[in-house]
Amino acid sequence: MNSLLTMNELQVREINEILKDAHSFAEGRQWAPGKKLFVANLFFEPSTRTKSSFEVAERRLGLDVIHFDAETSSVQKGETLYDTAKTLQSIGVGALVIRHEQDRYFDELKGKLNIPVINAGDGCGNHPTQSLLDLLTIQQEFGSLRRLKIAIIGDIRHSRVARSNADALSRLGAEVVFSGPKEWMDFSLESGSYENIDSAIKTADVVMLLRIQHERHSGDSSAPDGDYLSSFGMTKERERSMKPKAIIMHPAPVNRGMEIDSELVECDRSRIFKQMENGVFVRMAVLKRAFEKAEGGNIYEAHNQKWFVAN
């Protein structure tokens, strides 16, 4: 069984395997496990796109999705995450997809379940399938990540995406720079250096805008004052200054008129909705990996898995 918890634990070779499988899914190839498999999506934080994207990915693989509503679950009665997860395993669920507001919630589960866990976001920490879909989108555009300059802009400190991405991008050969309000930089990150916003946008091949996480800033005096769009956002003027083939990315949901001028959300350079499309393919690849290599003792092991061409 192959959990996916953080990007750091993936070797470059494994990242490339996942991306290759995702490419295959994008081209219409199909894969299905050899038997009926249940999966549960445990989202302890609101989300449209990640949850729906996982659900579409699961259904396309022919998995059976068990509905789990965190709001009305026994977690409300004080049950631990471990007991909830073990319960789902006991009733026959073959994999768990979990989003949780607590950083590294999965440490509580490690080595204690015999079904894979796929991390759909933990606190301000990791969001590996988001990183992978970003990588896929860049790879589709430029063939390789080698020698690309990638500017990550915005709320680095609270961003799952920034942390998951920066290291992976570096390991795959890209140069990463950060920009945005100084209050929101995280100088503890090992990969990437700080660059002035205008210069970063002008010289990057890929500009990755981050969401302003309003819901994480309630009562936070570190939020920058003034007009965010003109100071640190993608204005029409900055867009015009970009290199000819450079692209714009954003994990969404977009705060229109803040991180990006509303009219640029679907401009020629924008890959924002392409990223969402790719999210499904990446998640299919991650789920395939989870079941495919499931170890012997697991009754949910997929036997007859094989690739076949979509008709």
- Return binding residues for L-aspartate: 77, 160, 211
Show Cβ contacts of residue 157 under 8 Å, excluding neighbours closer than 6 positions.
Answer: 124, 183, 184, 185, 186
235: exposed, middle or buried (Cβ count in 10 Å: 0-12, 13-18, 19+): middle
- Please say which residue, 12 or 299, places its beta carbon nearer to a second copy: 299
- Does position 80 interact with a second copy (CB under 8 A)? The reply is yes
Q: Is 79 in the site for a second copy (CB under 8 A)?
A: yes
Where b means 16+ CB within 10 Å and e means fewer, 272-309 reads: bebbbebbbbbbbbbbbbbbeebeeeeebbbeebeeee
Question: Which residues are within 8 A (CB) of 118 and not within 5 positions of it... i.e. 6 or more apart?
Answer: 3, 4, 54, 95, 96, 97, 98, 129, 286, 287, 290
**Residue 223 interacting with a second copy (CB under 8 A):** no
Please pick, from the candidates 36, 110, 146, 293, the single residue that binds a second copy as defined by CB under 8 A: 36
Report if residue 22 touches a second copy, rule: CB under 8 A. no
CB 280, min distance to a second copy, A: 5
Among 23, 26, 29, 38, binds a second copy (CB under 8 A): 38
- Residue 281 has, within 13 A of its CA and on its CB side, a CA count of 25
Cβ contacts of 33 within 8 Å, gap of 6 or more: 61, 62, 63, 291, 302, 303, 305
State in angstroms the smallest separation of the CB of 260 from a second copy.
12
- Window 48-67: residues binding a second copy (CB under 8 A): 48-49, 52-53, 55-56, 59-60, 64-67
Task: Please give the residues from 88 up to 107 whose contact with a second copy meets the rule CB under 8 A.
Answer: 88, 90-93
- Least gap, CB of 195 to a second copy (angstroms): 28
Binding stretches for a second copy (CB under 8 A): 36, 38, 40, 43, 46-49, 52-53, 55-56, 59-60, 64-69, 71-80, 83-84, 86-88, 90-93, 214-215, 252-256, 265, 273-274, 276-277, 279-280
